[in-house]
Chain A
Amino acid sequence: DTGVSQDPRHKITKRGQNVTFRCDPISEHNRLYWYRQTLGQGPEFLTYFQNEAQLEKSRLLSDRFSAERPKGSFSTLEIQRTEQGDSAMYLCASSLTSGRQNEQFFGPGTRLTVL
């Protein structure tokens, strides 16, 4: 399977715990994006990387959130001291940066529930 993969698919945690999610993009894609989606809404942008450089962060990404892409391949998104409002689907997408290949391809998402 050569699509975007995310792990875990589901995470249930207690308020105050730290959680980390992983995204593996399509192998030749050098751009990687994180989005958050709450029930009944479309995805909202959080941050994106070109190779290992984090180029933009949304105001949604509070200081409890950190994302990394250390070798320009997979990425991790960590949420520290989780709050109930962090409950959402966290989506990862990847794209190329050449020609017209602007399309972003999404993974299956990680559903986070904070109790």
Chain B
Amino acid sequence: GQQLNQSPQSMFIQEGEDVSMNCTSSSIFNTWLWYKQDPGEGPVLLIALYKAGELTSNGRLTAQFGITRKDSFLNISASIPSDVGIYFCAGQFYNFNKFYFGSGTKLNVKP
């Protein structure tokens, strides 16, 4: 199957710091999604990206669809303790079909 390489695997940061994580693929995707998952829960959709170069924000979160269409980035500004969780990227080849997920970036925020 398709492999999405997500990095870093985990991060330990201080409250108030900014965070960056990224996702790369060997294949071109038409859509990128970013999710956050808390323990024992399903992933929650954060941001959807549909066009190469697109930059989209959701509060303190900003994500970008890479120009090559093989990567995507997520930034979190001024992190707070409730940002703790696992962040997943997901890429899709064709509209309305399945997504391929990265293995996640685990974020820890120290108060």
Residues of A within 8 A of B (CB): 4, 6, 31, 33, 40-45, 48, 50, 56, 58, 91, 93, 95, 97, 100, 102-109, 111
Contact = CB atoms under 8 A, between A and B. Distances in A.
B33 A95 contact: no
A103 B103 contact: no
B42 A31 contact: no
A9 to B, nearest CB: 8
B97 A56 contact: yes
A102 B96 contact: yes
19 contacts: A40-B103, A42-B88, A42-B101, A42-B102, A43-B88, A43-B101, A44-B1, A45-B98, A56-B98, A97-B96, A100-B48, A102-B48, A102-B96, A104-B99, A106-B45, A107-B42, A108-B41, A109-B42, A111-B40
B98 A42 contact: no
A102 B102 contact: no
B107 interface: no
Interface string B85-107: 00010101001111111111000
Interface of B: 1, 4, 6, 31, 33, 35, 40-45, 48, 50, 88, 90, 92, 95-104
Given A48-B98, A104-B90, A106-B35, 10 more contacts: A42-B103, A45-B99, A91-B43, A100-B50, A102-B96, A103-B48, A106-B42, A106-B43, A108-B42, A109-B42
What 3 A-B pairs come out closest when comparing CB atoms?
A42-B101, A106-B42, A45-B98
A15 B21 CA distance: 39
Nearest to A106: B42
A5 to B, nearest CB: 10
Nearest to A110: B42
A9 B44 CA distance: 17
B84 to A, nearest CB: 17
A102 B101 contact: no
Contacts of B45: 103-106
